[in-house]
Amino acid sequence: EAGVAQSPRYKIIEKRQSVAFWCNPISGHATLYWYQQILGQGPKLLIQFQNNGVVDDSQLPKDRFSAERLKGVDSTLKIQPAKLEDSAVYLCASSFDRPYEQYFGPGTRLTVT
Amino acid sequence: GENVEQHPSTLSVQEGDSAVIKCTYSDSASNYFPWYKQELGKRPQLIIDIRSNVGEKKDQRIAVTLNKTAKHFSLHITETQPEDSAVYFCAASTGGFKTIFGAGTRLFVKA
C-alpha cells in the first residue's frame, strides 16, 4: 500500500512569512496527526483529527498555527506568521483507528531565517 | 502537564550485547505504549507496542515490559547488531488520544 505523503519536503522562509504543509494519509485511515519534531527531541503532537473532526489540538499554538482536514482525507497545516523557533521537521502520521500503529510520512523540514 | 521521561539519552553497546531503554509516564490513564525507531534523516517506524492489559510482549530480539503500578515501561533489545543503531522513542497515549513521546535514546552498536 502507498504510504503517507507529504509536501513540500523542504522549505526555507523568513520570519513573519507564511507557510503551508500538505499531507495525504494512507487510504482508509480515519485518524490523522500532525507532529512538530525539533532537532534532538521527540515528536510533539500538534493536532489530531478523527475523520474530519478535531479531537485534540491542546498543544497547537492557535495564534499562529491552523490545520484542517477537509472531507476526512487530505490535511493542511499552516503557520502564519512564522517565528525562528518554528524551525523543525513537521511530521504527518495516520492510523486506521486509535490506538493503533501510526504510520509516519517523510516530513517537511522547515527552516525559518 | 503530562509527560514521558526516557533514559538514557545515549546508549553505547558492543555488538551482541543487550540494550535496555526505560520510560516513565505520568498520566495514570495511559493505556497504549508504542516504541518507534528513527534512523538518521528518516521517519519514525513502529517496532513494538504494548497495551495496559499486558505485562510483557516479545517479538524476536525485541521485548517490552510494562509496570502499571510504577508507571514505567522498558524496551529490551537482545543480541544487538550494528543495524540496530538509531534513535528510539517511547510514547504513551490514552485510548489513542494525547500521544506523548519521550525525548529519545540514541543507541550506538559497536561492531
pLDDT tens readout for residues A3-17: 999 999 999 999 999
- A107 touches B at CB < 8 Å: yes
pLDDT tens digits, one per residue of A53-100: 999 999 999 999 999 998 889 999 999 999 999 999 999 999 987 677
Looking at residue A7, what is its pLDDT? 97
CA contacts within 13 A on the Cβ side of A16: 0
The pLDDT value given to residue A1: 57
Give the nearest chain A residue to B96 (CA atoms): A99
**How large is the average pLDDT for residues A46-52?**
93
Per-residue pLDDT at A41 exceeds 90: yes
Contact between B96 and A98 using a beta-carbon 8 Å cutoff = yes
Residue A102 pLDDT class (50, 70, 90 cuts):
very high
Beta carbons of B93 and A99 less than 8 Å apart: yes
Instruction: Report yes or no: B103 at the A interface, CB cutoff 8 Å.
Output: yes
What's the gap in Å between the CA of B41 and the closest CA on chain A? 9
Kindly report the nearest CA distance between residue B101 and chain A, in angstroms.
Answer: 6
Residues A45, A96: contact at Cβ < 8 Å? no
Reply yes or no on whether the pLDDT at A23 is more than 60.
yes
Nearest to B63, CA basis, from B47, B77, B82, B73: B77
Query: Which residues of chain B have a CB within 8 Å of the CB of A40?
Result: 104
Closest chain B CA to residue A46: B98
Q: How many CB atoms lie within 10 A of CB B54?
A: 12
Partner residue facing A101 (CB), from B46, B89, B102 = B46
Strand residue runs (E) in A38-74: 44-50, 53-56, 65-68
- Per-residue model confidence (pLDDT) at position A98: 67
The pLDDT value recorded for residue A71 is: 85
Shortest distance between the Cα of B42 and any Cα of chain A, in A, equals 7
Cα–Cα distance, A82 to A27 (Å, whole number): 31
DSSP state of A101: P
Choose among B43, B96, B102: nearest Cβ to A99.
B96
